[in-house]
Structure 1
Amino acid sequence: MQTNPRPSLLYLVVGGLSYPVLRLLYRLTWRGVERLPAVGGYVLAANHWSSFDPWPIGMPLFPRRYLRFMAKSELFWFPLGPLISACGAFPVRRGQRDQEAIDTAVRLCREGHVVVMFPEGTRRQKGLRKKHEARWRSGAARIALEAGVPLVPAGIAGTDALARFAKLRVAFGPPVSLDGLSELPVDEAARIATDRLREAIAALEESLD
């Protein structure tokens, strides 16, 4: 019987300390967890408002799943680098096609991890939603297609108003259909899958309004 990778000790400690803060102070709620694969790796892709986004998207799965996050390579300096690595992060060089980061993500998915991606590529600024949607990256779709794992959408709301203690909400959707895409050229398959993913995330966001 396949089992999921166990979270690191530091991941469990940070999650355990964060859980009551998010649930009580920020009144975190979520729905759709039953749609997520219970066993095996997948790519979990969401909209991106804040650097705090990994917390609300990870808490609904805590402590059952070990979420792995791409983090910009500039963060991996001592002593921060070893700490965030132990919490599940791995580096990516932004602004370029980082094949090493992609290979790492594919390997983690195949090993049964949940790899979290923010396809918008950067945090949104208020009022610029349309601009950022037009610049979505196809990395999440490419990784899911190459690894042969589900591509799961999620919507996050409230992390753009943390200073006002806004209520945090997360909605998970069913995996995006990748049927037939393996027969297409890689770039075309990734583009189609990314378009489907963007539509699914947008629908989940709207459902949180």
Structure 2
Amino acid sequence: MPVPGRTHNPYGLWYRLAAGMVRPVLFLLVERRWRGHEHMPAEGGFITVANHISHFDPLTFGHFQYSSGRPPRMLAKASLFGIPFVGAMLRRTGQIPVHRGTADAASALRSAVDAVEAGECVAIYPEGTITRDPEMWPMTGKTGAARIALTTGAPVIPVAQWGAQHIVRPYARGGRGDRRVWLAPRQTVHVVAGAPVDLSRYTGRPLTPDVLKGATEDIMAAITALLAEIRQEQPSTRRHTHGRPARETA
């Protein structure tokens, strides 16, 4: 159930309907290991940013966020809005379409800024796609989340998740024994939120490419640190960069 005393977004009825359909399935498939709801602001606009490891993790991330009492408006690929029923539910729950590589691409950022300024939670995958890092560490982030945060002054809450890739494998080769979807046994999924990312050194500065890249790397570093804690592993010192050679993170 949502955390008592938290504000609700204006799509509550549709969110409850969607949650009523999805949550029973998730309870069957997922053993939850969730922490950090206390870092979610009880009121006012804010941004959550998460790593992306599977086509399944928007469901577990969304469930985690919904249960905090602050349902998210997630930035999602515009193509999903064209899928029958799925698209209708995305629109009615207030999710924000991202038209990649088109003249409408900037509209998602404008909608996200408007939502944050209206006191809502906006959820973003800064990588823009499922990680291509061989060890599944977060890749270099795109600058949209940083731009929204520095434009609005809203807090950015980092979220790390791990385990959803064992339910729906992101890049299974399809060979013998290499099933893409595993519905049993029940899988443990960790979702952990951390303290707001400190972006104070960028406050009041022009949103130049260097400022946006610096703020974005701080955001990705916060997510990576949380994921390292979950995995109890040391992350790579080289961040994967969307098909280009990896670069040093420290």
Q: Same fold (TM over 0.5)?
A: yes
- C-alpha distance in 2 between matches for 1:193 and 1:11: 31
Task: Report the secondary structure of 2:187's partner residue.
Answer: coil
* Alpha-carbon offset, residue 10 of structure 1: 2.3
Name stretches of at least 5 consecutive residues in structure 1 with no aligned partner.
none
What's the CA shift string for 1:21-69, capped at 9, x where partnerless?
A: 3344311121011112111111100000122222222223435222101
TM-score, normalised relative to structure 1: 0.88
Decide whether the 8 Å contact of 2:40 with 2:157 is kept in 1. yes
Q: Over aligned residues, Cα RMSD in angstroms? A: 2.3
Decide whether the 8 Å contact of 2:133 with 2:139 is kept in 1. no
* Alpha-carbon offset, residue 133 of structure 1: 1.6
From 96, 100, 112, the counterpart of 2:119: 112
Q: Which residue of 2 aligns with 1:123?
A: 130
Kindly indicate whether structure 1 or structure 2 has the higher relative contact order, using CA contacts under 8 Å at least 6 residues apart: 1
TM-score, normalised relative to structure 2: 0.74
Counting matched residue pairs gives 206
Name stretches of at least 5 consecutive residues in structure 2 with no aligned partner.
1-5, 168-180, 232-250
From 120, 140, 143, the counterpart of 2:145: 140
- Give the structure with the higher percent helix: 1
Displacement over 4 Å in runs of 4+: none
From 190, 201, 205, the counterpart of 2:223: 201
Supply the AA of the counterpart residue of 1:22. L
What's the CA shift string for 1:88-118, capped at 9, x where partnerless?
A: 3221112468211100000001111111100
* Alpha-carbon offset, residue 166 of structure 1: 2.4
Task: Report the secondary structure of 2:195's partner residue.
Answer: coil
- C-alpha distance in 1 between matches for 2:102 and 2:9: 30
Q: Which residue of 2 aligns with 1:55?
A: 59
The structure having more radius of gyration, on CA atoms, is: 2
